[in-house]
Amino acid sequence: MGKHSRPGPPNQPSRATPRVDPGDPLAAYDKRRRPPLDIHRRHRPLHGGGGHLCPEEPRALEEWNGFSYEPAGTAANLADAIRWVNEQTPGEEPAA
């Protein structure tokens, strides 16, 4: 087996083959508007450093708006930030 034959994480769609509908004229544009690695919400420590360090420090919450991540608020600690990231956003289908 070559080093590129791994299927990758099971919880992420394959990025090797684009999900483009040949009948949709805006399909390529819509593909470019997807967030990196299909992560719509993320959190970052307010004072820098690794995300797993200092779990009691506040976090900046960011949400994908179709072009870039924009600030969406703050969380008091890592547990609250993870809870916010994992919430279902409006219009999103629940994971099966």
pLDDT in tens, 42-96: 999 988 888 788 889 999 999 988 888 999 999 999 999 999 999 876 555 555 4
- Of 2-6, 19-23, 34-38, the one with minimum mean pLDDT is 2-6
3 within domain boundaries: no
CB-side exposure of 80: number of CA atoms within 13 Å?
A: 12
45 within domain boundaries: yes
38 within domain boundaries: yes
62 within domain boundaries: yes
More confident residue, 81 or 7: 81
DSSP states of 19-39: ---TT-TTHHHHHHTSPGGG-
95 within domain boundaries: no
Overall number of domains in the chain = 1
For the entire predicted model, the pTM comes to: 0.61
Give the distance, in angstroms, between the CA of residue 5 and the centroid of all CA atoms in the same chain. 24
42 within domain boundaries: yes
- Give the domain extent around 74: 30-86
39 within domain boundaries: yes
Q: What is the pLDDT of residue 20?
A: 66
96 within domain boundaries: no
